[in-house]
Structure 1
Amino acid sequence: MKTYKINIAGMERALPLCAINDDLYIGAFIIVGDPSLSEHCARELLKIAPEFDYVLTAETKGIPLVHEMARQRGDAKYIVARKSKKLYMVDPFFVEVQSITTAARQKLYLDQLDVETMKGKKVLIVDDVISTGKSLEALEELAERCGANVVGKMAILAEGEAADRDDILFLEKLPLFNAEGEPIS
């Protein structure tokens, strides 16, 4: 398997290259199960984060990152938009999203308790990788529907054209790759 070596604010990892189609590959960034990477990236993101009350992420890969960010700041809570409606959710808010790493459209849900928690608060949207930005858009829509003030959007990596955006903060750029494993953007 081809890999891409990346330095993330001083920590190196080798990312396996995975096909999106015959001509386009992405570097698979897997933070789940890597606590030292979660701790390192959380610390580095907090250095550049705007002032916020709560962090919001989507299930699943952003969870270890926001958990560690909250732990390092001493926060008692962070908020996770869930990929399925849970039994405890009464009249949840939801939006639909199509992510580059997910085969089908999915919904992201927030419980009413999380909705009330975010109302009128400064919310920072955090993800592991920003590529198309569709997950960020969905999270931003959820936060705004809750009456939250989105103060920033950030990720560990910005993939492809996402690195050219001026509305997100990130630690490193992650290129896209051709079938030979060579960076193309």
Structure 2
Amino acid sequence: MKYEMTIAGLKRQLPLCPINENLYIGAFVMFGDPEITVAAARDLLQKAPEFDVIVTAESKGIPLAHEMARQAGNMPYVVCRKGAKRYMRNVVQTTVDSITTDHIQILCVGEDDGERIRGKRVLIADDVISTGGSLRSIEKLVNQLGGNIVGKMAVLAEGDAAKRDDIIFLERLPLFHGDGSPIEDEQ
């Protein structure tokens, strides 16, 4: 099953993936699709507040953050890693429970990247915001590191995330019933 949608002016077929027998999500993966990455970055930057640094989570947000930073004039960006690396010093970390992962993950930032955030206007960017778990974890890290969050952006807002007034996004991505039909908002 697939769901067709237009994102940043481009049509894409999103495979539907089960979360359980009654709930499916549309898989939006920017890896390997430079056309959608460039277009989404362009359209998000048109909506973005002024910022000094972009912060994203490893790993699906990396191409987006990179392209946004490039299009914005080679601004710096920081990736919150899923685990500490040997070269990272004085690591700050938190946990995240994401709808697309079957276990609790760690997000962390080392001292060098922390300095890129401290005292700066931070724009958080990601591919999809759904439950907001990853976003909350990134916010926690940015706050611990002394950054000033000026905006939270995503290419797609999934399910109830589209109702939030604190995120900027390009398109709404519905959740899906087990038969592949979109779950309509209950209002």
TM bracket, shorter-chain basis: over 0.9
Quote the offset at 1:116 in angstroms: 1.4
> More displaced, 175-184 or 74-83?
74-83
Question: Which letter maps to 1:25?
Answer: Y
**SS state of the match for residue 95, structure 2?**
strand
Whether 2:29 is the aligned partner of 1:17: answer no
In 1: Cα distance, 2:113 partner to 2:142 partner? 10
Post-superposition CA distance 1:127-154 (Å, at most 9, x none): 0000000100000000010000000101
| 2:59 partner letter | T
Task: After TM superposition, give the deviation of residue 76 of structure 1 in Å.
Answer: 4.4
- Residue aligning to 1:171: 170
Q: For residue 150 of structure 2, what is the aligned residue in structure 1?
A: 151
Alpha-carbon distance between aligned partners in 1 of 2:92 and 2:37, rounded to the nearest angstrom: 28
TM-score w.r.t. length of structure 1: 0.98
Gaps of 5+ in 2: none
* Alignment partner, residue 122 of structure 1: 121
Q: Secondary structure at the match of 1:20?
A: strand
| 1:1-185 correspondence to structure 2 within 5 Å | 2-185=1-184
Report % sequence identity. Answer: 56
Give the partner amino acid of 1:70: A
On the 8 A contact 2:56/2:124 being kept in 1, the answer is: yes
1:73 CA displacement: 1.2
Please report the RMSD computed on the Cα atoms of aligned residues, expressed in angstroms. Answer: 0.7
User: Secondary structure of 2:46's match?
Assistant: helix
CA contact (8 A) 2:130 2:160 kept: yes
The number of residues matched between the two structures is 184
Residues 47-106 of structure 1: CA distance to partner in whole angstroms, max 9, x if unpaired? Answer: 000110000000000000010001111224210000011001112000000000011001
Counterpart residue identity of residue 21, structure 2: D
> The residue matched to 2:20 in structure 1 has which SS?
coil
Distance 2:75 2:118 in 1: 17
What letter corresponds to residue 87 of structure 1 in structure 2? R
User: How many Å apart are 1:181 and its aligned residue?
Assistant: 0.4
Measure, in 1, the Cα distance between the counterparts of 2:112 and 2:18.
39
Relative to the length of structure 2, the TM-score reads: 0.97
In the superposition, relative to structure 1, how do residues 54 and 80 fare at CA in structure 2: closer, same or farther (>3 Å)? Answer: same
CA distance in 1, matches of 2:71, 2:165: 26
